[in-house]
Each structure stands twice: as structure tokens, then as C-alpha cells.
Amino acid sequence: MQQFTLPDLGEGLEEAEVVAWHVNEGDHIVTDQPLLSVETDKAVVEVPSPWSGRIARLCAEKGDLVKVGAPLVEFAADAERDTGTVVGQLESSEERDAKAPKVAPARRGTAQAAPAVRALAQKLDVDLNAVQPTGPDNTITRADVERAARSLAEAGPAQVLRGMRRAMAQRMTAAHAEVVPATVTDDADIEEWRKDEDATIRLMRAIAAACKAEPALNTWYDSRAGERRPITRVDIGIAIDTEGGLIVPIVRNVAARDAHDLRAGLDRLRTDAAARRIPPEELRGATITLSNFGMIGGRFANLVVVPPQVAIVGAGRIVQRVVAHHGQPAVRRVLPLSLSFDHRVVTGGEATRFLMALKADIERSA
């Protein structure tokens, strides 16, 4: 038998969910024929066959979470190997195991509880490691278990995070553990905008102008090497809210494109996001991110910066407010702006100068 394992599909993801198989056991297939579709990094990706031959066994079922390097398919011994598939060089399980670092399994904490309390927890299907102890020396009491059981009964059934939700949870956890966040805010007066102004496109072009005025925020930071890398081109990740979770596709080279081209590109990305067919390369490499959450509601926000980026811009809901205009109170349309940044590498002065440049570009007449 020859074993084909799940290849690394990008950005260091550790696993993928099997969405659909395109072959069956016993099928004779050819090199680059689609084997299966997996969901990873907020996109559904087809995995092609590295070899021609007969499939002896499928090693996973639809819905399974498969680790990178774990078996996917076993081919009959006469399969003809060809490593030139679109996913790159694919290794056998033996080759991958030889290269993989050896990691000791994580040790789970041991809850302190009397035998009778443990028996009660088992009867009520309560995980003692998830119970908050209130007894002496942090021991779990009978009342603690009963309280946890009542909470579980009142809650809905547990839902295992998969696909986009799982990827979002992993990225947000990693960002929270690494980034030192800070946020500055301000309001932009947009009363001079045309009535049909495209707010998202204006925001994108204003971000490009602000990146030119204060390049420190259009930067990647490698915390392991202690290096920051200023990026000349402005590639903006656009946070798109979908039923399945958050997707952040990238609009490339914003500063060099006109409004019509940007709108056409953004519409295509939104359509692809809704259909779950965004290529992985269009989800990688953003230099800064825009969250136009005001399309739903809200004013200001402390946004999450996802490394290696160092900044994210948030736009709140446009409202009419009474403001001072030429020394007199006036009702004007106002766009709230939030700028969250990684304070490890961006100073408060740099962030504020960026925000002021962003605001000035937004407030200018079209």
C-alpha cells in the first residue's frame, strides 16, 4: 500500500474538515484528479491525487477533522507516484513523520474531589475539570457539581466549532496571546459627501492615503525575529460577515486602483465569500484590515489586530449629530472611526497621525 496524507494547505493550519469525497474505494484514478474537498482557512479547497492507481481505502469520512500529515487515502501498491500536483510536493506519511518535531502530549489538570463527589459528577455527566471549586484547598464539593449540572441543563447542546468558526477561534486566540492592543477614535464629518457616495470605497482609498502619510501602520511584524517590515503596497483585508462566520478576503494594491475597479473587485470577493469559493491566496497577505461594522450598527470598537499586521481600521454607523461647524451648532452627518493597533511596534503618535490623515481624506469633498 502507498499512503497519501493531508498536505499543508497553507498558513500553518494544523487540520482540515472533510467536506466531500469525489472518489470511492476501488476506483481507478489518475494524477491530479480531485480526491476530496476540505474546508480550511475559511475556504473550501479541492485536494488532487498525487498518483495514478486504484484506491484501496479512504481513511476519513465526511465531517471528520483530519490533522496535517494524517492518512487520507491508501493506494494499491502499484500506484504511480507523481509529486507535481497543484498543492506542491507531497510527502509520504513516513517522510513526514521523520521530519515532524516530536511534541509531548498536553497534560490535563486533575480536579480535587472526594470519591463520592466524583461518582456524582459521573452520574450527572459533569466534567470535573470544568467545575469551579469552592471547597477547602480548592476542592470540588457536591454543591459545585450540582450547580454545574444545572447550568449544563439550562444551556443548549454543545456545538463543536468547525470550518470557519474553528479557524476564527484559533486566530483570535493566537492574536490575543501575542498582540498588545490599543485603540484611538475620532469622528469624521461627511456632510459634504455626495448622497450616493460609496462609503466602503471611500474608506479604502482613505486608508491608502493614511498609509502613505504614516507608513508605520502598513507593516508586518515578526515577533519571533523582532523585525518589522514596512510594506510599500497597500493590500486591505475586508472583514465580511457571513452566516458561517467571518471571512477577510484581500483587495490588492488599493492605492493604484480607481473607485470603479475597487468596487468591482470588492463585489466579486463578496460573491465568492457567500458561495464559499474564495481561493486561499485571496485570504493571505493583507497589510492592514478594514472592518466596516457600521453597516450593521455600533459607533466605536476595540478591534482585534491579527499578526503579522499591526493595525485595523473600524468604521461605525453613519448618523446625524449636532456638531460645531464654523463656530455654530449644526446637524451634520458623522462617521465614527476606530483605529486599533499593536502597541509593541506602533507608537501612540504614529497611530494618531495615521488616524488624522485618515479623517482628513474622508472629510474632503469627493
Same domain for 204 and 351: yes
Return averaged pLDDT per consecutive 10 residues of the chain, 366 residues in all. Answer: 82 78 93 88 80 92 89 80 41 41 40 86 89 87 90 81 82 92 97 93 98 97 94 96 86 96 95 84 93 95 96 97 94 97 98 98 87
Same domain for 302 and 213: yes
Position 57 scores a pLDDT of 92
Same domain for 77 and 142: no
Domains identified in the chain, total number: 3
Task: List the one residue out of 64, 8, 359, 84 whose CA is nearest residue 206.
Answer: 359
Position 82 scores a pLDDT of 45
Task: Identify whether 105 is part of a domain.
Answer: no
Task: Identify whether 257 is part of a domain.
Answer: yes
Q: What is the CATH number of the domain that holds 180?
A: 3.30.559.10
Task: Identify whether 104 is part of a domain.
Answer: no
* Separation CA 127–CA 113 (nearest Å): 12
Same domain for 148 and 207: no
Q: Are 56 and 181 in contact (CB under 8 A)?
A: no
Q: What is the CATH number of the domain that holds 28?
A: 2.40.50.100
Write out the residue range of the structural domain in which residue 66 sits: 2-99
Position 92 scores a pLDDT of 40
> Grid coordinates representing 49?
491525487
Counting beta carbons within 10 angstroms of the beta carbon of residue 133, is it exposed (0 to 12), middle (13 to 18) or buried (19 or more)?
A: middle
Angle (CA) 345-350-352 rounded to 5° is: 125
> How large is the angle between the packed helices 199-213 and 259-275, nearest 10 degrees?
110
26-35: long-range contacts, CB 8 A cutoff, minimum separation 24: 26/54, 26/55, 27/54, 27/55, 28/53, 28/54, 28/55, 29/53, 29/54, 29/55, 31/80, 31/82, 31/85, 32/82, 32/85, 32/86, 35/4, 35/72, 35/73
The pTM of this model reads 0.69
Position 102 scores a pLDDT of 39
Same domain for 307 and 169: yes
Position 79 scores a pLDDT of 56
* Separation CA 290–CA 240 (nearest Å): 10
